[in-house]
Amino acid sequence: MTQFPCDRHGLIRRSAALAADLTDDDLRAGVKSGSLLRLTPGVYVESDDQFDGPAGSDRLYRLRSLAVATAEIGGSLPSSHVSAAAVHRLPLLAPTRTRVHLTNGKAAGGKTTRLRHIHAAPLSDDEVTVVDGVSVTSLSRTAVDVAGDGNFAQALTAFDGALRAGADLEPMAAALSRRRVGARSARRALPLADGRSESVGESWSRAQMIDAGFPAPTLQREFRCRAGRYRCDFCWGDKLIGEFDGAVKYGRYRRPGESINAAVLREKSREDELRAIGFMVVRWTWPMLQRGEMLDVLRPWLQHVNLVAA
C-alpha cells in the first residue's frame, strides 16, 4: 500500500509527494481507487470513515477549507464565512458548502469559481486572525458574515455559537453595523443571542420558539435533586422543563467506560428526579425540528402552565 506524506493537518500535498519519490500517477491511482480524496488541485487527504455522516462532512469541509487557504490558489487571502466557521469549529445550521470562501479585504474584486468564492469586503486588522496556522476572519466577523447570509434561525445559531466560543457582543455589533446588505435577520438575531445555548439544535429550537411568539425560557437552569445537581436545556417558571435530544446527546455526555444504554438509563433517572420535584418534562428531537413538529408538541404544555393562551 502506498504511503503518502501528510502535513500536520493530515493533508497530502503534491509537492511533498513528489519530493518523497511518488508520482502524479500514484496520486491519480489513489483517487481512482478511493484511497485518496482530492480536496483542491494539488492537495489530497486519505479516505477514512471519519468523513462519513454529518460530523464527517464537517471534518472534510474543514480540511478542504484548510487546503485551499494553504494552497497556491488560495494565496494569502483569509478564509471567511462558512469556511472560516469550519476552521474555527463554529457549528452552523444547514450551511451551504459548495465552495470555499475567502475575503480580499477590498471594496471590489470579488470572484466566484467552481471551487472558491472570493468576497469583496473591507477587513480591519482586528477582524483577521490565525487558527491552526491559517489566516481566517475573526470569530466575531465570521459569525456576522454567516448570519448576514442566512435566515433568522441560521443567524441566531451562528451568534449563539460565537458567544459560547468566547466572542464578545461588541465587535459583532460593530461589524454588523457596517454591513449594508443581507443583515435584516442578523440584526434581529444578535440581541437575542445567548452563549448558554449549547448546540445547534438548542439554538434552532429557540429560534422556532421566538418565531412562534412563545415566552422566552431560562437556559441551562440548574436543579438540586436527590442524586445530584442537574442542568436543563430550557425551563419555564417552576413547572415546565424542555429538553432537546440530539443524535449525539448521550454519546457526548457519556462517562468514561459507560455504555450508551447506561447513559440512556441515567438520563431517564435524571428525568424521574426532576418530575419528583414537581416539573413536567417535554422532549423533542432533530427530526421534529425539521418537520416543524416541535411547536405542536410544546404548545399544549405551555398552555397547561398558563404561559400560552389556549
For 139-155, the three-class secondary structure string (H helix, E strand, C coil) is: HHHHHHHHHHCCCHHHH
pLDDT value for 256: 62
Number of Cβ within a 10 Å radius of residue 65: 29
CA-CA distance, 74 to 43, in Å (whole number)?
12
Domain with CATH 3.40.960.10 in the chain: 200-304
pLDDT value for 263: 62
Which residue type sits at 247? A
Beta bridge partners of residue 13, listed in sequence order:
43
Q: What is the pLDDT of residues 60-69, one digit of tens each?
A: 999 999 999 8
pLDDT value for 248: 47
Query: Which positions of the chain have pLDDT values less than 50?
Result: 74, 248-252
Architecture of domain 200-304: 3-Layer(aba) Sandwich (3.40)
Q: In sequence order, which residues have a C-beta less than 8 Å from that of residue 154 and are 6 or more positions away?
A: 92, 93, 94, 95, 146, 147, 185
Q: Could you tell me if 78 and 139 are in contact, meaning their C-beta atoms sit under 8 angstroms apart?
A: no
Q: Which of 248, 240, 253, 251 is nearest to 279 (CA)?
A: 240
pLDDT value for 88: 98
Q: Is 100 helix (H, G, I), strand (E, B) or coil?
A: strand
Q: Which three cell numbers stand for residue 136?
A: 481566517
